[in-house]
Amino acid sequence: MAEHEAESEALTSDELLVEEVSIDGMCGVY
């Protein structure tokens, strides 16, 4: 469901340009 780009994979010369997250309402839906 969620897809975190792990920080440890990011190198200074190969920075990840896309990050994703599953944002299920952020406590907004009940």
Partner 1 sequence: MTVAGSVTFDLDRAWRVDPRVSMRPEPFGALLYHFGTRRLSFLKNQTVLAVVRSLADHPSARAACLASGVPEAELPVYARALAALAESQMISERTLS
Partner 2 sequence: MTIAPDAAPVADAAGVRPAAPSPGKLTDLFQLGLDAPICLTWELTYACNLSCVHCLSSSGRRDPRELTTRECMDVIDTLERMQVFYVNIGGGEPTVRPDFWELVDYATAHHVGVKFSTNGVKLDAAAAARLAASDYVDVQISLDGATREVNDAVRGPGSFDTAVRAMQNLADAGFKGFKLSVVMTRQNIPQIDQFKAIADRYGAQLRLTRLRPSGRGADVWDELHPLPEQQRQLYDWLVAHGEQVLTGDSFFHLSAFGGALPGLNLCGAGRVVCLIDPVGDVYACPFAIHDNFLAGNVRDTGGFESVWRHSPLFADLRKPDTGGACKSCGFYDSCRGGCMAAKFFTGLPLDGPDPECVQGYGETALASVPASSAATPRPSVDHSHRTMPPRPGPSRLRTAGGSRAVPVSIGPRRPPAHDCDESPLAGFDAPSGCR
**Interface with partner 2 by CB under 8 A: which residues?**
1-2, 7, 15, 19, 21-30
Q: Does 8 engage in binding with partner 1 (CB under 8 A)?
A: no
Min dist. Cβ of residue 13 to partner 2 (A): 13
Distance, CA of 17 to CA of 27 (rounded, Å): 27
> 14 contacts which partner out of partner 2, partner 1, none, CB within 5 to 8 A by kind?
partner 1
Scored b (16 or more CB within 10 A) or e, 2-18 reads eeeeeeeeeeeeeeeee
Contacts with partner 1, residue ranges (CB under 8 A): 3, 5, 14-24
